A and B are shown apart, each in its own frame.
Chain A
Amino acid sequence: MKKIINQTDDILNEMLEGLSYAYSDLVTRVPETNVIVKKNISGSKVGVVSGGGSGHEPAHAGFVGTGMLSAAVCGEIFTSPTPDQVLEGIKAADDGAGVLLVIKNYSGDVMNFEMAKDLAEMEGIEVETVLVDDDIAVEDSTYTAGRRGVAGTILVHKILGHAAESGKSLAEIKEIGDKLVKEIKTLGVALTGATVPAVGKPGFVLEEDEIEFGVGIHGEPGYRKEKLQSSRKLAEELVGKLKDEFNWKSGDKYGVLVNGLGGTPLMEQFVFMNDVKVLLEEDGLIVDFKKVGDVMTSIDMEGLSLTMIHIDTPEWTEALKAPVTTIAW
C-alpha cells in the first residue's frame, strides 16, 4: 500500500483539518466534531444535511455551501457517523426552519441518521429524511436491505439544496425529495478494488484484464465479472441496464452524471461520456443536464458509475444548473 498518510487512526481528523484550512472562505469545522458546515448560515432557511463514511471525497463535505448542503457529517472511513455526530450536524445546520437529512440506503447509515433525528426532535428541532437508493445493481447487498445509495445522492443534494435556498418549507422539500429519488438511477463498473488504509490491501481483487459490473462504493460485490472491454461496450452495458429500469422513449428528458470512483482519470471519464452520448442520441433522449467528474468516490478504486435522472419538471433542470459556492460541485 502506497499512500500519503500519517497514522491510519488520524486520517479523518487530519483530512478535515486540511479541508477546512484550504477552503476556510467556504466552510468551517464545528469544533470537537467531524462536522463541516457552511459559513454564514442565515435567513431562516431549511438546513440540508448529509454525510456518511469517509473515503468518498469530495462527497460529502465538498458539497457544503450556499445552494447545496448546509453541513456534512463525516464518519470514519467507510463507517457511518454516530448519531451524536449527526446531531451536531443537525444543530449546526438548523436555522429555525428545520433540517432535512439526505441518507444513503445502507443499514448503518439509516439507523444512525434516524436515531439522530429522534435526538434532534427531543431538542425541539424539526427533522425530515430522504432516503436515496439509486444503485440498480443489486437488490440486497452485504450492507443493505434494498438498493444501495450511491452517486445519485449528489443530484439529490443539488436539487434539494436549491429548494432550500429558494425558501421552500421542510415539508415541501421532503416531498420533492421523495419524488426525486424515484427518478434517479445509477450503475457502476470497477476495474480494481479500493484499499482502506487501516486494512492495507484492496477489499477485493480483480485480475489485470478483469472488470466487475455493479460493485458498490465500499467494494460490495456486483452482479457480473467479465474481461476488460472497450469504453463503448461498457457504455452499452450500463446504458442498457438503465434503459431497462427507466423504460424510456424518444423525446424523454434526462440528466446524465458520469462519476469517477477515485482512481480513474478524467480523460477516461470523458471518453466514456462520449460513448454514452452516442447511445442516448440513438434513443432520441433529450439530455438536459450533463456532468463529469469525481463526486462520489471509493478511495482509490478504478472505475466509474453512470447516473441518470429522469427530469420530470423544468424546476429540476433549473435546480441542477443553479450556481452554488461549494468546493467540488
Chain B
Amino acid sequence: MEAKQIINWLQLFTDKVGENKAYLSDLDTPIGDGDHGANMARGTSEMMKAIEEKNPDTPTEVFKLAAMTLISKVGGASGPLYGSAFMGMTKASMKSDDLVTILEGGMSEIQKRGKSEPGEKTMLDTWSRVIESLKDGSLTEEKVKEIAEETKEMKATKGRASYLGERSIGHIDPGAMSSSYLFEAMIEAGVK
C-alpha cells in the first residue's frame, strides 16, 4: 500500500461523489434533510485540495489529512461519521498495511461514533459487507453496487431515517450509497 495509490483512490472517490451529488441529495430528501450530496461533494473536494497542497507521503498521513478535512468541511452527522472512518483507518495504518485490518479499523470507529451496528440501514451495512466480501475474495465493483442497493428494502432503526420506521423501506440509504462510491473507487484504484 502506497501513499500515491491511496491518493488516487480518494481522487476517484471525489469524482464519483461529484458526479452523483444530486442523486445522493435526492436519496437523502425523503429520509433526511436532503444535503448529503452537497455536503459530501464539498467535503471531498476540500479533502483533495488539502492533499494536493500538503502532498502527504505515507498512507497514514493521507488518511489523517482526509479525516481532518472531512470532519471540518462536511458538517452535520456525515462529517463526524466519515471523519471517524478515516481516523480509524489512520490509527490502523500505523500498525498494519493490511487492507482488511485498515478497513476494520475504520468500521469500528463508525460504529463507535454512530452507536450503531450493521443491519440498521446505515453506511455500516456497506462497510461490513464490503469487508466480508474482501475477506472471502468475492469483492467486485458489481458486488459493491449490489450491497448499497440492498439497503433499499431494509427498515431503518438508527440515524435520522429511523424516525420514519416502516416508511424508510423503499429508500436506499444515502450513507450506504456514498460509501459504495468509496469502495468502487478503491477497487478501481487497485488498492489491495
Q: Which residues of A approach B to under 8 Å, CB–CB?
A: 76, 79-80, 82-85, 107-108, 111-112, 114-115, 118, 140, 142
Q: In whole angstroms, how far apart are the Cα atoms of A76 and B72 in the complex?
A: 13
Knowing A84-B68, A111-B113, the reply to whether A79 touches B75 (Cβ < 8 A) is yes
Q: Are B79 and A82 in contact (CB under 8 A)?
A: yes
Q: In whole angstroms, how far apart are the Cα atoms of A108 and B39 in the complex?
A: 14
Q: Are B72 and A108 in contact (CB under 8 A)?
A: no
Q: Are A118 and B87 in contact (CB under 8 A)?
A: yes
Q: Are B81 and A111 in contact (CB under 8 A)?
A: yes
Q: In whole angstroms, how far apart are the Cα atoms of A80 and B77 in the complex?
A: 9
Knowing A118-B87, A140-B163, the reply to whether A111 touches B80 (Cβ < 8 A) is yes
> Does B76 lie at the interface of the complex (its beta carbon under 8 Å from any beta carbon of A)?
yes
Give the chain A neighbours of B34 by CB distance below 8 A.
Answer: none
Query: Of A83, A140, A142, which is within 8 A of B80 by CB?
Result: A83
> Does B126 lie at the interface of the complex (its beta carbon under 8 Å from any beta carbon of A)?
no
The 8 closest A-B pairs by CB, nearest first: A111-B80, A84-B72, A115-B80, A83-B71, A82-B72, A112-B80, A108-B77, A111-B77
Q: In whole angstroms, how far apart are the Cα atoms of A76 and B39 in the complex?
A: 14
Query: Which A residue's beta carbon lies closest to that of B75?
Result: A82
A84-B68, A108-B77 given; 19 more Cβ-contact pairs under 8 Å: A76-B75, A80-B75, A82-B73, A82-B75, A83-B72, A83-B80, A84-B72, A85-B72, A107-B77, A107-B160, A111-B77, A111-B80, A112-B80, A114-B113, A115-B83, A115-B84, A115-B113, A140-B163, A142-B160
Q: Are B114 and A111 in contact (CB under 8 A)?
A: yes
Give the chain A neighbours of B77 by CB distance below 8 A.
Answer: 107-108, 111
Could you tell me which residues of chain B, from 56 to 79, have a CB within 8 Å of some CB in chain A?
A: 68, 71-73, 75-77, 79
Query: Which A residue's beta carbon lies closest to that of B33?
Result: A142
Give the chain A neighbours of B75 by CB distance below 8 A.
Answer: 76, 79-80, 82
> How many whole Å from B94's CB to the nearest CB in chain A?
12
Q: Which residues of B approach A to under 8 Å, CB–CB?
A: 68, 71-73, 75-77, 79-81, 83-84, 87, 113-114, 160, 163
Give the chain B neighbours of A79 by CB distance below 8 A.
Answer: 75-76
Give the chain B neighbours of A118 by CB distance below 8 A.
Answer: 87
Query: Of B71, B73, B76, which is within 8 A of A108 by CB?
Result: B76
Give the chain A neighbours of B71 by CB distance below 8 A.
Answer: 82-84, 112, 115
Q: In whole angstroms, how far apart are the Cα atoms of A118 and B85 in the complex?
A: 13
> How many whole Å from A123's CB to the nearest CB in chain B?
12
Q: In whole angstroms, how far apart are the Cα atoms of A79 and B76 in the complex?
A: 7
Give the chain A neighbours of B84 by CB distance below 8 A.
Answer: 115
> How many whole Å from B138's CB to the nearest CB in chain A?
33
Query: Which B residue's beta carbon lies closest to that of A113?
Result: B80
Give the chain B neighbours of A84 by CB distance below 8 A.
Answer: 68, 71-72
Query: Which A residue's beta carbon lies closest to that of B84?
Result: A115
Q: In whole angstroms, how far apart are the Cα atoms of A215 and B152 in the complex?
A: 32
Give the chain A neighbours of B81 by CB distance below 8 A.
Answer: 111
Give the chain A neighbours of B160 by CB distance below 8 A.
Answer: 107, 142
Q: In whole angstroms, how far apart are the Cα atoms of A101 and B163 in the complex?
A: 27
Q: In whole angstroms, how far apart are the Cα atoms of A309 and B31 in the complex?
A: 36
Give the chain B neighbours of A111 by CB distance below 8 A.
Answer: 77, 80-81, 113-114
> How many whole Å from B124's CB to the nearest CB in chain A?
14
> How many whole Å from B84's CB to the nearest CB in chain A?
7
> How many whole Å from A184's CB to the nearest CB in chain B?
23
* Most chain A beta carbons < 10 A, residue from B71, B113, B163: B71
Query: Which B residue's beta carbon lies closest to that of A115?
Result: B80
Give the chain B neighbours of A76 by CB distance below 8 A.
Answer: 75
> How many whole Å from A112's CB to the nearest CB in chain B?
5
Q: In whole angstroms, how far apart are the Cα atoms of A107 and B79 in the complex?
A: 12
Q: In whole angstroms, how far apart are the Cα atoms of A13 and B46 in the complex?
A: 21
Q: Are A112 and B79 in contact (CB under 8 A)?
A: yes
Q: In whole angstroms, how far apart are the Cα atoms of A318 and B113 in the complex?
A: 37
> How many whole Å from B139's CB to the nearest CB in chain A?
29
Give the chain A neighbours of B87 by CB distance below 8 A.
Answer: 118
Q: In whole angstroms, how far apart are the Cα atoms of A118 and B87 in the complex?
A: 10
Give the chain A neighbours of B68 by CB distance below 8 A.
Answer: 84
Q: In whole angstroms, how far apart are the Cα atoms of A242 and B104 in the complex?
A: 46
Q: List 9 A-B contacts (CB under 8 A).
A: A76-B75, A80-B75, A83-B71, A84-B71, A85-B72, A108-B76, A111-B77, A112-B71, A140-B163
